[in-house]
Amino acid sequence: MYISHKYKLIFLRSPKTASSSLSEFFIKNIPDPDAIYTPVEDSNIKGTLSQDIINRYKTHFKFYHFTLQDIIDNNIITKEQALSYRSICVIRDPVDRQKSFYYFYKKWKQPGSQASIEQYNDWTSNGPFIGEPNSGILQSSFLKIDNKIAGEYWLYQNFHNDLSQLMRELDLSVTHMLPQHKTDFRKNRDNEIKFNEFATDNLNKFFGSDVKLYNELLEETYV
């Protein structure tokens, strides 16, 4: 999460959508000493979120992945501010996002183990990847206020262009390049394990609202 009152900007961190990298980019490139943001553990950035909120939501690091409604409910910003500020979140293909969760888990929680096709499909055949609690968070929930979308989603594969456009609109120069956090655990994509049809169908059903939103954005962006 990153909030700048000076620039009336909110960025929300949906897991496995380059959110750590983007958070650090905003922290280092937007000149707002009063910005509110969660830590970026990859770069030892401590964050400015109150310790009370961190303590209340430290289970599964929930405070990293607050939705727009969460930051209103926790009095981090007001509803009026949330509605008037520019709120941004990145959305990724839901099935590919689950692959990212799986490889991240194998790299950091079971280092040295090999991800088998059988294990992969078994773990994902009933919905989100069970090895990572945050994998079940709906991307389509991040920008909702009173159950209505109140912000803009950037497609994962196009966010570099959106980010460049945002910096131009804010009339800000890029002084620190976008870091590449958590990119070393999924290197050989040509030989990746793949979902079977059953697991893919179940994931698409579980993440139905994400699939719908993602496909709508694809059509708007590329058609």
Domain chopping of the chain, boundaries: 2-222
Helix (H/G/I), strand (E/B), else coil: 76 = coil
Alpha carbons 139 and 5: distance in angstroms, whole number? 24
Provide the pairing of β-strand 9-12 with 86-91.
Answer: parallel
Say what percent of the chain tops pLDDT 70.
85
Phi, psi of 36 (to 5 degrees): -110, 125
Tens-level pLDDT at each residue, the chain (223 residues): 999 999 999 999 999 999 999 999 999 999 999 999 999 987 889 999 999 998 888 876 788 999 999 999 999 999 999 999 999 999 999 988 988 887 777 776 665 556 566 776 776 666 676 666 778 889 999 999 999 999 999 999 999 999 999 999 999 999 999 998 766 666 666 567 677 888 888 889 999 999 999 999 999 988 7
Name the one residue in this structure whose structure tokens are 């456009």: 165
Say if residues 202 and 62 touch (Cβ distance below 8 Å): no
Provide the strand spans (E) within the chain: 2-4, 9-12, 36-37, 86-91, 144-145, 148-149, 152-155
| Whole-number Cα distances in Å, 44 to 59, 64, 177, 203 | 20, 14, 17, 34
Query: CA torsion sign, 84 to 25 to 18 to 112?
Result: negative
Q: Is the pTM of this model over 0.75?
A: yes
Up-side HSE of residue 70: CA atoms within 13 Å toward CB?
A: 19
Alpha carbons 124 and 67: distance in angstroms, whole number? 24
> Does CATH number 3.40.50 belong to domain 2-222?
yes
Dump pLDDT digits (tens) for 49-73: 999 998 888 876 788 999 999 999 9
